């Protein structure tokens, strides 16, 4: 049954500054109209929506959204189709974090994850986002969940971004069996999936770099072959540790590595640039606003690649979901659910720390 209204937690005002005066942001419970379910659309009853650092960027850090406040954030969504396309009615689905137009030159190049007309819940779909009871989305690129066994549907919200974005990055890097990889920020909400994916795709070496010894120890259980604790170290210190690991294992340290930078921090990016070597790749996943001074000609002399990556092509979602449900990629140790009514407390917690698990908010209106 189509609800009369969508219940939602709406960002009515992001944090901002006027001179030296800070204006706190606000996320408030309200209800909004259900948009028309047009041909090609479906209405999804939301099971869960993950809390991503992109949402925090929109709320706290002035990262611009296409739709200005009031706006419901949230783009990491799983749920059940309750209206629209008859073939999908009643099906459980994962909503891609970005949905391409499938009708432009960029999409024709199979780069639709960076389509300039893409739709992203909580950013560019009007006022609608995932921290809600329901959402209307295009049906074309939904990932149908066919057999999740005992896996809670709300857990699969992380496939929409936290797991699929690393998969897109691995495809951009063209990871193959026997490759050597480094993951900077391996203990975070995205990094732990990068380590698992690299190993699942056959990488020989997965060196996890982070700042928490507990999370690095955990990384060794989920894909990492070696770890480096970067806390209190310069990028040159980290490079020395990396070179020692390479020497111990008979790996070259000066060519042919795939370096995934997940943190988006200035220090993480500096480590990535320090490790970049001959015919290597630096794959940038983490988003940040830091500025670095480098000699661009070094990249040419190294014949290295610096690769940007954004979200994930919808065509990859079924493969990612299969890897999750077959336990090639473990998600259950890395997620937890909380009621959506705790959104303000959760945002504050995640803003000021890095929880060991990705928090998924479940509707409790």
Q: Provide the pLDDT for residue 113.
A: 95
- The CATH 3.40.50.720 domain(s) of the chain lie at 164-308
What confidence tier does 255 reach under pLDDT thresholds 50, 70, 90?
very high
pLDDT given at position 355: 84
Q: Stretch 299-305: mean pLDDT, rounded?
A: 95
* DSSP code for 207: E
CA 245, 250, 253, 258 torsion: positive or negative? negative
Helices and strands counted in the chain (H then E): 10, 17
What are the tens digits of pLDDT across the range 124-139?
999 999 999 999 999 9
Q: Any idea of the CA torsion for 48, 54, 60, 63, to the nearest 10 degrees? A: -140
- Pairing type for strands 281-284 and 205-210 reads unpaired
Tell me, what DSSP letter sits at residue 163? T
| Length of the chain (residues) | 365
Task: Convert the pLDDT of each residue in 26-51 to its tens digit.
Answer: 999 999 999 999 999 999 999 999 99
Are 161 and 285 spatial neighbours (Cβ–Cβ below 8 Å)? no
Determine if the peptide bond prior to 70 is cis (ω within 30°). yes
Residues 6+ apart with CB under 8 A from 8: 29, 30, 31, 32, 72, 129, 131, 132, 133
Please give the structure tokens belonging to residue 281.
């790749």
Beta carbons of 216 and 227 less than 8 angstroms apart:
yes
The whole-chain average pLDDT of the chain stands at: 95
Q: With CA atoms as reference, report the closest residue to 121 among 159, 73, 83.
A: 73
pLDDT of 101 above 90: yes
Query: Would you state the structure tokens that stand for residue 345, as one six-digit string?
Result: 């407390």
User: Which CATH fold would you assign to the domain 5-161+312-362?
Assistant: Quinone Oxidoreductase; Chain A, domain 1 (3.90.180)
For residues 324-362, b (16+ Cβ closer than 10 Å) or e, as one string? bbeeebebeebbebbebeebeebbeebeeebebebbbbb
CATH 3.90.180.10 positions along the chain are: 5-161+312-362
CATH superfamily of domain region 164-308: NAD(P)-binding Rossmann-like Domain (3.40.50.720)
Q: Token digits for 77?
A: 């969504």
């Amino acid at each position: 049954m189509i609800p009369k209204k969508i219940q939602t937690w709406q960002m009515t005002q992001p944090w901002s500054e006027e001179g030296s005066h800070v204006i706190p942001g606000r996320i408030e419970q309200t209800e909004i109209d259900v948009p028309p379910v047009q041909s090609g659309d479906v209405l999804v009853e939301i099971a869960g929506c993950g809390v991503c650092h992109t949402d925090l960027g929109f709320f706290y850090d002035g990262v611009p959204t296409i739709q200005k406040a009031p706006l419901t954030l949230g783009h990491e969504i799983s749920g059940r189709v309750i209206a629209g396309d008859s073939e999908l009615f009643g099906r459980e689905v994962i909503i891609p974090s970005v949905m391409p137009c499938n009708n432009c030159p960029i999409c024709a190049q199979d780069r639709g994850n960076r389509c300039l007309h893409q739709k992203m819940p909580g950013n560019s779909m009007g006022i609608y986002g995932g921290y809600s009871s329901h959402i209307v989305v295009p049906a074309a690129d939904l990932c149908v969940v066919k057999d999740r066994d005992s896996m809670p549907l709300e857990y699969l919200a992380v496939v929409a971004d936290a797991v699929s974005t690393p998969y897109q990055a691995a495809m951009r890097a063209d990871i193959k069996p026997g490759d050597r990889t480094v993951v900077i920020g391996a203990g975070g909400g995205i990094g732990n999936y990068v380590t698992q994916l690299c190993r699942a795709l056959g990488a020989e070496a997965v060196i996890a770099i982070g700042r928490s010894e507990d999370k690095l120890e955990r990384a060794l259980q989920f894909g990492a072959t070696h770890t480096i604790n970067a806390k209190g170290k310069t990028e040159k210190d980290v490079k020395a540790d990396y070179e020692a690991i390479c020497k111990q294992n008979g790996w070259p340290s000066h060519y042919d590595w795939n370096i995934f930078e997940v943190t988006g921090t200035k220090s993480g990016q500096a480590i990535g640039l320090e490790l970049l070597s001959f015919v290597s790749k630096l794959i940038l996943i983490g988003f940040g606003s830091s500025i670095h001074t480098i000699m661009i000609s070094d990249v040419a002399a190294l014949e290295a690649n610096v690769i940007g990556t954004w979200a994930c092509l919808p065509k990859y979602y079924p493969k990612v979901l299969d890897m999750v449900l077959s336990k090639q990629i473990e998600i259950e140790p890395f997620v937890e659910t909380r009621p959506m009514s705790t959104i303000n407390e959760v945002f504050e917690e995640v803003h000021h720390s890095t929880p060991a698990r990705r928090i998924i908010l479940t509707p409790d209106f």
